[in-house]
């Protein structure tokens, strides 16, 4: 057999041995190629797969950053991040990929509440604990996740309704006081037809339908609104928590209704779009405008808008949930007890205080 054929055969057999060895390598060392992290994942790091629902808003970016800042290599973690781009199908694929990679923990920020049982059962069968972040899932079997970290969206919606109650009372008492002092004052709640004009016309920009934030904020606000027969909710439509969709829906509202008193916008990004629509229609909103604006999230740019008087009040939804997630994983590692459901603290910010209250905020 000539020398050349011998060399080819030797090379072939050596190649076979290399491939066979590689395919027997444990999955973890394959994570280096699959993880979005460039550095190698050494075995004593806690490997966490994180399926974030998207990057639709400033709030979401702050939420992602909070997790990434908490689950660092220095803190003993190796984070595999995936952006679900607002699609549950993508997020389910993420979870299956994390199971295949044999991660130690899975974090999911679920885009919507239903349809998670099957894939969470697969994670449980693989022995991988799941933590729900930010929004909630709707399931009969609460053992499918070990913990959830987020905010109380129903309370946020109710707070918005209570703020509007307070605001209208202050306006009314201002009007009554004016009447007492000057009965011939121009200010009146009666229009020329003698109709009682304290009907409050409200439009709502809702977040992603069937998301915990949309469900909770809508229900919370409606439970207050229903107590006031003069509060008239003209419309509520999905703005998907994005600036573009928020602007599009607000433009529709402005074309359809010529007497909007209140805008309730379920996140700041939709509010930013709505304010653009209002201004393009030649109208004014906020503290000195006809349309009063109630927003949610309280991200940094919303403080700019409150300082400019364009947003009346912002109900905070605190995205800084990373430290709590890290704490829970530490407890799981040590076999220590922890609260299954945790809510992070949040506040309410009014335009008049925005300039002062924004200091020392990190998002």
| Interface residues toward ligand GZL, by CB under 6 A | 56-57, 59-60, 134-135, 151, 207, 213, 241, 267, 269, 296-297, 317
The sign of the dihedral angle between the CA atoms of 104, 333, 125, 121 is negative
Q: Which is nearer to ligand GZL, 111 or 119 (CB)?
A: 111
Rounded least distance, CB 349 to ligand GZL, Å = 15
Q: Which is nearer to ligand GZL, 35 or 267 (CB)?
A: 267
Q: Which is nearer to ligand GZL, 60 or 324 (CB)?
A: 60
Question: How far is the C-alpha of 43 from the C-alpha of 41, rounded, in Å?
Answer: 6
Q: Write out the E strands in the chain.
A: 46-52, 77-83, 105-108, 130-134, 147-150, 200-206, 231-238, 262-265, 292-297, 313-316, 341-343, 348-350
Do residues 201 and 123 make contact, with C-beta atoms less than 8 angstroms apart?
no
Do residues 27 and 101 make contact, with C-beta atoms less than 8 angstroms apart?
yes
Q: Report the Cα 269 to chain-centroid distance in Å.
A: 11
Q: Which residue has the tokens 């590689």?
A: 22
Q: Which is nearer to ligand GZL, 128 or 213 (CB)?
A: 213
**CA 158 vs CA 6, 66, 71, 217: distances in Å:** 81, 26, 33, 7
Rounded least distance, CB 57 to ligand GZL, Å = 4
Question: How far is the C-alpha of 312 from the C-alpha of 272, rounded, in Å?
Answer: 13
Rounded least distance, CB 339 to ligand GZL, Å = 18
Q: Which is nearer to ligand GZL, 134 or 206 (CB)?
A: 134
Q: Which is nearer to ligand GZL, 145 or 296 (CB)?
A: 296
Q: Name the 3-class secondary structure at 358.
A: coil
Rounded least distance, CB 251 to ligand GZL, Å = 20
Q: Write out the E strands in 87-198.
A: 105-108, 130-134, 147-150
Q: Which is nearer to ligand GZL, 205 or 291 (CB)?
A: 205
Rounded least distance, CB 326 to ligand GZL, Å = 19
Question: How far is the C-alpha of 361 from the C-alpha of 355, rounded, in Å?
Answer: 12
Rounded least distance, CB 37 to ligand GZL, Å = 25
Residue 62: CB atoms within 10 A of its CB come to 18
Rounded least distance, CB 151 to ligand GZL, Å = 5
């Amino acid at each position: 057999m000539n020398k050349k054929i011998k060399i080819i055969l030797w090379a072939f057999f050596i190649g076979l041995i290399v491939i066979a060895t590689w395919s027997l390598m444990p999955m973890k060392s394959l994570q280096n190629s699959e993880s979005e992290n460039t550095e190698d994942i050494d075995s004593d790091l806690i490997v966490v797969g994180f399926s974030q629902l998207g990057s639709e808003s400033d709030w979401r970016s702050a939420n992602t950053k909070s997790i990434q800042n908490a689950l660092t290599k220095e803190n003993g973690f190796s984070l595999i991040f995936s952006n679900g781009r607002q699609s549950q199908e993508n997020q389910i694929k993420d979870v299956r990929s994390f199971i295949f990679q044999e991660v130690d923990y899975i974090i999911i920020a679920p885009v919507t509440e239903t349809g998670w049982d099957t894939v969470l059962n697969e994670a449980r069968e693989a022995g991988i604990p799941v933590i729900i972040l930010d929004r909630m899932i709707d399931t009969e079997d609460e053992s499918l996740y070990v913990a959830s970290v987020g905010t109380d969206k129903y309370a946020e919606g109710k707070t918005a309704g209570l703020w509007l109650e307070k605001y209208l009372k202050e306006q009314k008492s201002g009007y009554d006081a004016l009447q007492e002092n000057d009965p011939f004052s121009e200010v009146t709640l009666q229009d020329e037809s003698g109709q009682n004009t304290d009907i409050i016309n409200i439009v709502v920009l809702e977040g992603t339908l069937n998301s915990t934030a949309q469900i909770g904020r809508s229900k919370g606000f409606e439970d207050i609104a229903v107590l006031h027969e003069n509060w008239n909710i003209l419309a509520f439509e999905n703005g998907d928590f994005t600036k573009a969709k928020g602007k599009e829906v607000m433009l529709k509202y402005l074309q359809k209704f010529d007497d909007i008193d209140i805008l309730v916008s379920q996140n700041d990004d939709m509010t930013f779009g709505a304010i653009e629509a209002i201004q393009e229609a030649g109208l004014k909103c906020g503290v000195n405008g006809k349309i009063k604006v109630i927003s949610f999230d309280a991200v940094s740019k919303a403080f700019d808008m409150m300082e400019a008087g364009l947003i009346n009040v912002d109900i905070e939804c605190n995205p800084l949930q990373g430290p709590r997630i890290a704490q829970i994983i530490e407890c799981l590692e040590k076999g220590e007890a922890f609260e299954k459901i945790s809510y992070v603290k949040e506040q309410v910010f009014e335009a008049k205080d925005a300039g002062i209250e924004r200091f020392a905020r990190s998002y």
